[in-house]
Amino acid sequence: MKRTGSIVAAMLAGALLATPALAQKTVLTVGMQSSDAGVLDPHLNSGTPGKALLNWMFNGLVRIKPGELSPEFIEPDLAESWTASADGKEWTFKLRQGVQCHHGYGEFTSADAVYSLNRAATKESSAFSSDYGAFDKVEAPDKYTVKITLKQAIPSLLGIVMNYHGGNMVCKKAAEELGKDGFAKKPVGTGPFMFSEYVPQQYAKLVANPNYFRAKPKLTEILYRFIPSDSSRDLAFQSGELDMMLGRQEQAWVDRMNALPGVKVVAMGPAEMSVLHLNMSQPPLDNLKVRQAIAHAIDRNAIWQFRGKNISRPAVSVVPSGYLGTDEKAALLPFDLAKSKALLAEAGFPNGVTIKTINTTLPSMLSFTEATQALLKRAGITLEIQPVEHATFHQQIRQDLSQVVHFQAARFPVADVYLSQFFHSRAIVKTPTAVTNFSHCKVADAEIDAARSETDKAKQLALWKTAQEKIIKEVCAIPVNEMMQLWAYKDSLDLGYELKASLNLGPPVLETTRFTK
Amino acid sequence: MGAFLVKRLGFAVVTLWAVLSLVFVVVRIVPGDPAQVILGDQADATAIAAMRTRLGLDAPVIEQYWTFLSGALRGDWGVSLVTGRPVIQEILAVLPWTIELTLVSMAIGVAIGVPLGVWAAINRNHMPDYVTRIASLLGLSFPPFVSAIILLIVFAIVLRWFPVISAGSGSPSAWFQAMALPALNLGLIMAAYITRVARSAMLEVLQEDYVRSARAKGVPWRVVVWKHALRNALIPVITIVGLYLGILIGNSVLTEIVFNRPGLGKLIIGALNQRDYTMLQGMMVIYTLIVVLVNIATDLTYAVVDPRVKLS
């Protein structure tokens, strides 16, 4: 009897000891603010919900070190090493050997890389084809070598062959066999997690790739749940049904989440910079003094306080902080109410001016514009806000219908992208090559163009600095502040790296990511 | 009966065509460019133009209308502009979820509303009547998304009886877990409507001569109420159930979003935000079809409940 008792006790003790190992979670449940992830083809999906998900399935030739943002942290991914010719027009990548495509589609070789890049550069199969406009040809001299020849040097070739947008490497055999529509339903890459199931409006399920070239992932599954309602996502996280979720860009949300036990809140990059673009083609904004008066009336620190100290920061230049080429100490016009009023009077508007803006109804963007409106009022500048639904806003500002455009965006972190899209004359709205130059700015075309093909790094940085100085002096736009991406996750989740930023807007989930309990 | 059905179905076809055409026009008048939404805010004008061509949005409107209408006649609703998947497939994947939710919440509404309404009527100007009237007024005043959040906080967060998000497929208990709160949320609103209608209909019927004669003849009160009066009082209740089915489907939009339940509601919000024209068109057909069919079903039910009603 005594013996039986001790056996039972030993079994119980064993069971108790074994419990932590058995209870260890290996399924990560993520909540996303969306009702769908969109088309699951990495070369076609440009939405936030899809980007984060695809990032867990695909690799690039190179990648930015997980958790970082700046291109200075570029490291090997599917390519082990690379070299560039002196003029920056020829790039050769040596691929890792033995990398396996998901679902048994065989080894990833240079043929797959060539196929992927050509696919990303083709309008019909890619939403990012314009990024590859400088490509002349992509070749595979041997099974593990990829050679890219450019028509002209570009500021960041590595930026467009990394695991982001068109740089995601797909497996040729799978893409051809499944066809465009089939591939979008069953994406095949080489990343740590493989596509398993997609239930519309509910979730996408990924499973661990046991053959992942870095190591077998510690998590077995990722359940990516689509939860468009902010309140429901918060409640599901609070009840423990989600391990990680996208937050709302509000200080109150951060404070509420921080008050929950066992929760980690991260304000990560890339920050979206709020910029007021002033339409210089229309009076009274065609008058430099009026533009300067507006700039002097905006108190960046006040807006920073308003938007939340932990989730935003004041802008430093017309290019967001931390980008390659940002002038971190740019001479932005300081807040000076008296000077603002004086400039208005000098410009012939002693009684103030009235300007109009079409603004999205997205709450965080609208509240920013309303705060700006209050600041401008003190200088005698009346900002009339016309709120419209988000998609309408995007269409109308591109039709050049707004005198002031509040645009909030993050871009690939190289100065060239922001400068080219927002401040080059080619990008002026309503032109055939339009992108998002709402101010009709054209003062820095020469520097932006020259920097694009400048291979001397120091000269390139100097050109970008001059471009920023010119744009600021002309007051084409007023950069105000930067809003971070907010994520909350259980502190028992060890991502395996320090999360400071993620270009794909969702925390990278790696082979090392695991739960500690 | 047959002639009635043919006539009503013919009318339904005309209604469908009118709604389709209206939706076709409206989605094109509303500002916002699907190509822009799909490609994101970094796309340049050339890429947007190419996407518009790919989506067939640069063809003359009349040609787009013809393609759309002839496709619809063949049962081809096109593919979603955003996901590239066939519209009909996407709708059919979530339709059962909405129908299921609507029917269960309607059953809850009827099960609570009819007895409560009758109870209030036979106790007119007494405590049960006051309580019922206040309760139904409360039910009508609560916006469905507010009551949904309250239900979630109470039953999912505080009491932990139900999950906040649930797949709701597989076992009957999973189905129940996923259905309970959303159905209760919509069912209570429905119950509030039905209670009020059942109460006033019952009050009216109770004053009729035949009720008085039945009472005079010594028929027990219980039999008078449940056998004689209720049958007649149900006619306006059926009307209201039919009418409010449309409202219920509308309310299900918010309920589905808050409870994160798949369904037409979630689908239509996504389609609206992304200016997914084809999806919106397909969904409006489904909504119209449901409303038209429910109306026909309501008329047929009248005939069953009230022998005085002739379908002609």
Q: Are B265 and B255 within 8 A, CB to CB? A: yes
Q: A431–B45: do the CB atoms touch at under 8 Å?
A: yes
Length of chain A measured in residues? 517
Phi, psi of A188 (to 5 degrees): -125, 120
Predicted confidence at residue B144, as pLDDT, reads 81
Partner residue opposite A127 with nearest CB, options B39, B84, B93:
B39
Predicted confidence at residue B170, as pLDDT, reads 67
Q: B84–A130: do the CB atoms touch at under 8 Å?
A: no
Q: pLDDT (tens digit, 9 = 90+) per residue, B109-147?
A: 999 999 999 899 888 888 889 999 998 888 888 888 888
CB pairs under 8 A between A and B: 140
Of the candidates B72, B88, B87, B79, the one whose C-alpha atom is nearest the C-alpha of residue B56 is B79
- Distance CA(B95)–CA(A277), nearest Å, equals 44
Q: pLDDT (tens digit, 9 = 90+) per residue, B224-267?
A: 777 778 877 888 788 777 777 777 777 778 888 888 888 888 88
DSSP class of residue A96 equals P
Q: A124–B54: do the CB atoms touch at under 8 Å?
A: yes
Q: Within an 8 Å CB–CB cutoff, is residue B174 touching chain A?
A: no
Q: pLDDT (tens digit, 9 = 90+) per residue, A261-278?
A: 999 999 999 999 999 999
DSSP class of residue A4 equals H
Q: pLDDT (tens digit, 9 = 90+) per residue, A275-329?
A: 999 999 999 999 999 999 999 999 999 999 999 988 999 999 999 998 999 999 9
Q: Within an 8 Å CB–CB cutoff, is residue B163 touching chain A?
A: yes
Predicted confidence at residue B308, as pLDDT, reads 66
Q: Where are the beta strands (DSSP E) in A43-134?
A: 62-64, 74-76, 79-84, 90-95
> Which of B37, B44, B150 is most worth mutating to test chain A (most A CB atoms within 10 A of its CB)?
B44
E strand or H helix at A223, and its extent? strand A221-226
Give the pLDDT mean for A333-355.
96
Q: A123–B82: do the CB atoms touch at under 8 Å?
A: no
CA dihedral A345, A347, A353, A359 (to 10 degrees): -130
User: How many CB atoms sit inside 10 A of residue A81's CB?
Assistant: 10
Per-residue pLDDT for B166 more than 80? Answer: no
Could you write out the DSSP letters of every residue in A292-308?
HHHHHH--HHHHHHHH-
Determine what percent of chain B is predicted with pLDDT higher than 90: 11
Contacts of B275 in chain A (CB under 8 A): 391
Partner residue opposite A200 with nearest CB, options B93, B157, B164:
B93
| Burial class of residue A416, CB neighbours in 10 A (0-12, 13-18, 19+) | buried
Contacts of A389 in chain B (CB under 8 A): 32
CA dihedral B200, B202, B205, B206 (to 10 degrees): -110
Q: B267–A201: do the CB atoms touch at under 8 Å?
A: yes
Q: pLDDT (tens digit, 9 = 90+) per residue, A163-186?
A: 999 999 999 999 999 988 889 889
CA separation, residue A153 to residues A87, A300, B96 (Å): 7, 37, 55
Per-residue pLDDT for B201 more than 60? Answer: yes
Q: Compare A41 and A13 and report the one with higher pLDDT.
A: A41
Q: Within an 8 Å CB–CB cutoff, is residue B304 touching chain A?
A: no
Least confident residue range of A161-175, A494-508, B29-43, B87-101: B29-43
| Contact residues, B window 121-150, toward A, CB-based 8 Å cutoff | 149
Of the candidates A224, A220, A184, the one whose C-alpha atom is nearest the C-alpha of residue A203 is A224
Contacts of B152 in chain A (CB under 8 A): 231-232, 235
Mean of all residue pLDDT scores within chain A: 92
Give the pLDDT mean for A18-22.
46
ipTM of the complex: 0.79
Lookup: tokens for A108? 């990833």
Contacts of B266 in chain A (CB under 8 A): 35, 201, 228
| Burial class of residue A356, CB neighbours in 10 A (0-12, 13-18, 19+) | middle
> Which of A29, A32, A35, A230 is most worth mutating to test chain B (most B CB atoms within 10 A of its CB)?
A35
Phi-psi region of B78 (alpha: psi -120 to 50; beta: other; left: phi over 0): left
Q: A35–B267: do the CB atoms touch at under 8 Å?
A: yes
Predicted confidence at residue A335, as pLDDT, reads 97
Q: Are A114 and A413 within 8 A, CB to CB? A: no
Respond yes or no on whether the N-terminal peptide bond of residue A270 is cis (omega within 30° of 0).
yes
Q: Within an 8 Å CB–CB cutoff, is residue B157 touching chain A?
A: yes
Q: A238–B33: do the CB atoms touch at under 8 Å?
A: no
Rounded to the nearest angstrom, the minimum Cα separation between A199 and chain B is 9
Of the candidates A241, A31, A235, A257, the one whose C-alpha atom is nearest the C-alpha of residue B149 is A235
Question: By CA distance, what is A232's nearest residue in B?
Answer: B258
Per-residue pLDDT for B13 more than 50? Answer: yes
Q: B165–A130: do the CB atoms touch at under 8 Å?
A: no
Q: How many Å is the Cα radius of gyration of chain B?
A: 24
Predicted confidence at residue B312, as pLDDT, reads 53
Which residues fall within 8 angstroms of residue A35, CB to CB, at 6 or more apart? A201, A226, A228, B266, B267, B269, B270
| Contact residues, B window 19-38, toward A, CB-based 8 Å cutoff | 30-33, 36-38
Of the ranges A19-28, A481-490, B275-284, the best mean pLDDT one:
A481-490
Predicted confidence at residue A7, as pLDDT, reads 46
Q: pLDDT (tens digit, 9 = 90+) per residue, A470-492?
A: 999 999 999 999 999 999 999 99
Q: A130–B260: do the CB atoms touch at under 8 Å?
A: no
> Which of A272, A395, A407 is most worth mutating to test chain B (most B CB atoms within 10 A of its CB)?
A395
Contacts of B274 in chain A (CB under 8 A): 391
Respond yes or no on whether the N-terminal peptide bond of residue A284 is cis (omega within 30° of 0).
yes
E strand or H helix at A256, and its extent? helix A251-258
Lookup: tokens for A183? 């591939």
Predicted confidence at residue A3, as pLDDT, reads 46
Lookup: tokens for A267? 């304000």
> Which of A231, A238, A244 is most worth mutating to test chain B (most B CB atoms within 10 A of its CB)?
A231
User: What end-to-end distance do the CA atoms of chain A give, in Å?
Assistant: 37
Of the candidates A429, A428, A472, A470, the one whose C-alpha atom is nearest the C-alpha of residue A446 is A470
- Distance CA(B103)–CA(B297), nearest Å, equals 14
Q: Within an 8 Å CB–CB cutoff, is residue B252 touching chain A?
A: no
Of the candidates B169, B267, B164, the one whose C-alpha atom is nearest the C-alpha of residue A29 is B164
Give the pLDDT mean for B196-217.
84
Question: By CA distance, what is A181's nearest residue in B?
Answer: B84
Of the ranges A3-12, A400-409, B147-156, B279-288, the best mean pLDDT one:
A400-409
> Which of A33, A124, A165, A235 is most worth mutating to test chain B (most B CB atoms within 10 A of its CB)?
A235
Length of chain B measured in residues? 312
Q: Are A408 and A273 within 8 A, CB to CB? A: yes
Of the candidates A114, A115, A97, the one whose C-alpha atom is nearest the C-alpha of residue A106 is A97
Contacts of B39 in chain A (CB under 8 A): 46, 127
Give the model's confidence band at B174: pLDDT under 50 very low, under 70 low, under 90 confident, else very high.
confident
Predicted confidence at residue A462, as pLDDT, reads 97
Q: pLDDT (tens digit, 9 = 90+) per residue, A437-461?
A: 999 999 999 999 999 888 888 999 9
Which residues fall within 8 angstroms of residue A120, CB to CB, at 6 or more apart? A43, A126, A128, A129, A131, A132, A165, A166, A167, A168
Rounded to the nearest angstrom, the minimum Cα separation between B42 and chain A is 7
| Burial class of residue A480, CB neighbours in 10 A (0-12, 13-18, 19+) | buried
Partner residue opposite B259 with nearest CB, options A232, A398, A421:
A232
Give the pLDDT mean for B155-174.
81
Give the model's confidence band at A16: pLDDT under 50 very low, under 70 low, under 90 confident, else very high.
very low
Mapped onto helix, strand or coil, the DSSP state of residue A412 is coil
Of the candidates B208, B200, B206, the one whose C-alpha atom is nearest the C-alpha of residue B239 is B200
Q: Are A475 and A333 within 8 A, CB to CB? A: yes
Could you write out the DSSP letters of every residue in A428-448?
BTTSTT-SSB-S---TTHHHH
Partner residue opposite A229 with nearest CB, options B32, B160, B258:
B258
Phi, psi of A360 (to 5 degrees): -70, 155
Contacts of A34 in chain B (CB under 8 A): 270
Predicted confidence at residue A500, as pLDDT, reads 94
Give the pLDDT mean for A386-399.
92
Contacts of B263 in chain A (CB under 8 A): 201
Q: B149–A231: do the CB atoms touch at under 8 Å?
A: yes
CA separation, residue A476 to residues A63, A345, A442 (Å): 34, 20, 9
- Distance CA(B312)–CA(B87), nearest Å, equals 37
Contacts of B45 in chain A (CB under 8 A): 431-435
Residue with tokens 């409010």: B244
Phi, psi of A30 (to 5 degrees): -115, 135
CA separation, residue B261 to residues A102, A204, B180, B250 (Å): 31, 15, 12, 14
Per-residue pLDDT for A1 more than 60? Answer: no
Residues paired with residue A515 on neighbouring β-strands, in sequence order: A493
Per-residue pLDDT for A367 more than 60? Answer: yes
Q: A433–B46: do the CB atoms touch at under 8 Å?
A: yes
Partner residue opposite B36 with nearest CB, options A47, A394, A431:
A394
Q: A411–B42: do the CB atoms touch at under 8 Å?
A: yes
- Distance CA(A270)–CA(B31), nearest Å, equals 30
Predicted confidence at residue A401, as pLDDT, reads 95
Predicted confidence at residue A19, as pLDDT, reads 44
Determine what percent of chain A is predicted with pLDDT higher than 90: 79
Q: B84–A123: do the CB atoms touch at under 8 Å?
A: no
Contacts of A238 in chain B (CB under 8 A): 157
Residues paired with residue A94 on neighbouring β-strands, in sequence order: A81, A145
| Alpha-helical segments (H) within A133-199 | 172-185
Give the model's confidence band at A17: pLDDT under 50 very low, under 70 low, under 90 confident, else very high.
very low
Question: By CA distance, what is A226's nearest residue in B?
Answer: B260
Q: Are B248 and B256 within 8 A, CB to CB? A: no
Q: B266–A201: do the CB atoms touch at under 8 Å?
A: yes
| Contact residues, B window 64-103, toward A, CB-based 8 Å cutoff | 82-85, 90, 93-94
Predicted confidence at residue B50, as pLDDT, reads 81
Give the model's confidence band at A338: pLDDT under 50 very low, under 70 low, under 90 confident, else very high.
very high
Contacts of B41 in chain A (CB under 8 A): 394, 407, 409, 436
Question: By CA distance, what is B253's nearest residue in A?
Answer: A229
